[in-house]
């Protein structure tokens, strides 16, 4: 396929890119929403341009959906995911410890990286992760040389759906190839020819990559070679895709826009109501000047007053705005948060919180499962590409600040007191408790603790203090 054909935009991409731009604005709010307000603030029929312009200058945005998305991301990643790397390859374990601390060569921890990708998926329905290796002109003769050159230092790059401009799927729905629009600082071309723009793309199929660029003279190939997952025969892009029911922005966007227009209309009406217009009731021709520095001369029987709205429509609008806000929270499975904190001031018990957030917990678990699945696929792809032969698993993402660690500790102690004759079960319970209690420590320390638990239980024949009492 020609390079010019590859960089064409996919029909589905063309159909959705305006939606993605709108969803980004709704999530960001603030000055970004204000600068693009003309695309969202509806103009009334036959509304004068200067009046509409003034309304645009006074526009404001109550960003409920942005707060909801951030709440889900913060709650889901309240505790870091539990990563386990098991195997005899100590250099491979050290690499994954390093990867968990800096997964994108920019200093981003793995949990922070996937939190950003999760937010991207909540806003735009999906996000993408590219598995890549540093490119070098020299060819390494063995693995030791690769490690010395840094060629085996795999890293991740996050993309949104608006960055994947073209693609093709096979009959099973798997990627055959994809084109990524590359963003970054301007290249040498901008200095050699000021005013000229440079567009760049990366094409990936199941074996090779092509670097494509357009400097104003047509699309040309500027580089090519094998990519990270060539040996696996896969496109090195992994998609984190949410179902329609879990795509929060898509569920709440229309409600948020309706609330945006209604709240600005009410604000404008209230503002205009503060500048009351004088009304003169008279049968005579009225041509007097009206203002703060003037007075009125009125005849017998004439009356004077001020226009003032009765306020019924304001009450209706206020009730409607409150209903729209509640509906935004309801479709996002957070109706209990719509009214804010409890008015009684009494602290809620853990059991009461669990009952109030029963539906929200199930949604969070669904998000956690989706994230763990994506993380497993990505980390296992890196493991296979490097040939480390480790067994990788991802757990956690199921603590949502509703229960307490003490209750989980008590449950684990009760489970171990049954005297179940399974050393593996005891190992997993102790590792899980230790990882959750020490969720903020480095992955290297977590792995060391996991190894010490294995060695301790192996040396004691699987007998812990709780197991001995039983």
Which range (7-16, 85-94, 131-140, 188-197) has the least confidence? Answer: 188-197
Classify residue 435 as exposed, middle or buried by CB count within 10 Å of its CB (0-12, 13-18, 19+): buried
List the chain domain ranges. Answer: 260-343, 405-470
- Per-residue pLDDT at 337: 76
Tens digits of residue pLDDT in 165-204? 999 999 999 999 999 998 654 554 444 455 556 789 999 9
The answer to whether the CB of 296 falls within 8 A of the CB of 304 is: yes
Res. 404 pLDDT band, cuts 50 70 90: low
Which range (167-171, 356-360, 390-394) has the least confidence? Answer: 356-360
Tokens coding 342: 């409890």
Distance (Å, whole) CA 138 – CA 359: 55
What is the DSSP-derived secondary structure letter of residue 442? Answer: -
The answer to whether the CB of 110 falls within 8 A of the CB of 100 is: yes
Q: Considering the entire predicted model, what is its pTM?
A: 0.78
The answer to whether the CB of 242 falls within 8 A of the CB of 122 is: yes
- Per-residue pLDDT at 105: 92
Q: What is the mean pLDDT of residues 426-432?
A: 77
How would you classify the pairing of strands 237-241 and 126-132?
Answer: antiparallel
Sign of the Cα torsion 207, 227, 237, 185 reads negative
> Over 50: is that where the pLDDT of 468 sits?
no
Tens digits of residue pLDDT in 313-345? 788 888 999 999 999 999 999 987 776 554 444
Which range (11-20, 52-61, 342-351, 365-374) has the least confidence? Answer: 342-351
**Which carries the bigger pLDDT value, residue 335 or residue 405?**
335
Tens digits of residue pLDDT in 211-252? 999 877 888 898 899 999 999 999 999 999 999 999 999 999
Give percent of the chain with pLDDT exceeding 90: 50
- Per-residue pLDDT at 325: 94
Res. 385 pLDDT band, cuts 50 70 90: very high
What is the DSSP-derived secondary structure letter of residue 34? Answer: H
CA distances from 54 to 43, 47, 50, 308 (A): 12, 11, 6, 21
Q: Give, in degrees to the nearest 5, the angle at Cα 112 between 106 and 117.
A: 95
Residue with tokens 């109706």: 335
> Over 80: is that where the pLDDT of 295 sits?
no
> Over 80: is that where the pLDDT of 60 sits?
yes
- Per-residue pLDDT at 354: 55
Q: What is the mean pLDDT of the chain?
A: 83
- Per-residue pLDDT at 298: 76
- Per-residue pLDDT at 170: 92
The answer to whether the CB of 101 falls within 8 A of the CB of 421 is: no
3-state secondary structure of 270: helix
Which range (145-159, 279-293, 435-449) has the least confidence? Answer: 435-449
């Amino acid at each position: 396929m020609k390079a010019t054909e590859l960089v064409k935009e996919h029909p589905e991409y063309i159909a959705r890119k305006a939606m993605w731009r709108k969803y980004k604005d709704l999530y960001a709010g603030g000055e970004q929403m204000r600068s693009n307000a003309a695309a969202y603030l509806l103009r009334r029929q036959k509304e004068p341009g200067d009046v509409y312009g003034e309304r645009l200058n006074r526009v404001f945005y109550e960003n409920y959906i942005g707060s909801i998305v951030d709440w889900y991301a913060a709650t889901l990643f309240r505790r870091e995911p539990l990563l386990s790397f098991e195997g005899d390859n100590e250099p491979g374990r050290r690499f994954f410890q390093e990867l968990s601390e800096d997964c994108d060569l920019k200093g981003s921890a793995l949990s922070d990286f996937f939190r950003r990708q999760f937010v991207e998926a909540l806003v735009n329905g999906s996000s993408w992760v590219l598995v890549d290796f540093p490119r070098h002109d020299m060819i390494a003769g063995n693995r030791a040389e690769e490690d010395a050159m840094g060629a085996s230092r795999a890293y991740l790059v996050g993309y949104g759906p608006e960055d994947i401009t073209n693609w093709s799927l096979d009959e099973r729905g798997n990627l055959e190839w994809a084109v990524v629009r590359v963003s970054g600082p301007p290249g040498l071309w901008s200095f050699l020819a000021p005013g000229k723009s440079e567009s760049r793309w990366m094409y990936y199929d199941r074996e090779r990559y092509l670097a494509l660029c357009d400097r104003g003279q047509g699309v040309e190939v500027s580089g090519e070679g094998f990519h990270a997952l060539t040996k696996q025969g896969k496109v090195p892009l992994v998609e984190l895709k949410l179902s329609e029911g879990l795509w929060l922005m898509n569920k709440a966007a229309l409600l948020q826009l309706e609330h945006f227009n209604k709240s600005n209309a009410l604000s404008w009406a209230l503002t205009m109501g503060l500048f009351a217009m004088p009304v003169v009731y008279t049968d005579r021709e009225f041509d007097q000047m009206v203002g703060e520095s003037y007075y009125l001369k009125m005849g017998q029987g004439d009356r004077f007053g001020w226009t003032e709205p009765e306020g019924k429509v304001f009450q209706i609008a206020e009730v409607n705005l409150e209903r729209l806000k509640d509906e935004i929270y309801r479709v996002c499975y957070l109706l209990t948060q719509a009214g804010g904190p409890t008015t009684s001031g009494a602290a809620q018990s853990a059991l009461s919180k669990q009952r109030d957030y029963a539906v929200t917990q199930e949604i969070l678990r669904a998000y956690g499962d989706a994230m763990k699945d994506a993380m497993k696929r990505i980390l296992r792809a890196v493991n296979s590409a490097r040939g480390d032969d480790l067994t990788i698993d991802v757990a956690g993402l199921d603590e949502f600040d509703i229960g307490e660690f003490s209750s989980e500790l008590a449950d684990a102690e009760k489970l171990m007191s049954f005297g179940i004759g399974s050393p593996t079960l005891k190992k997993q319970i102790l590792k899980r408790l230790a990882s959750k209690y020490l969720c903020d420590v480095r992955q290297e320390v977590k792995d060391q603790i996991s190894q010490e638990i294995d060695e301790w239980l192996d040396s004691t024949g699987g007998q812990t203090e709780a197991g001995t009492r039983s």
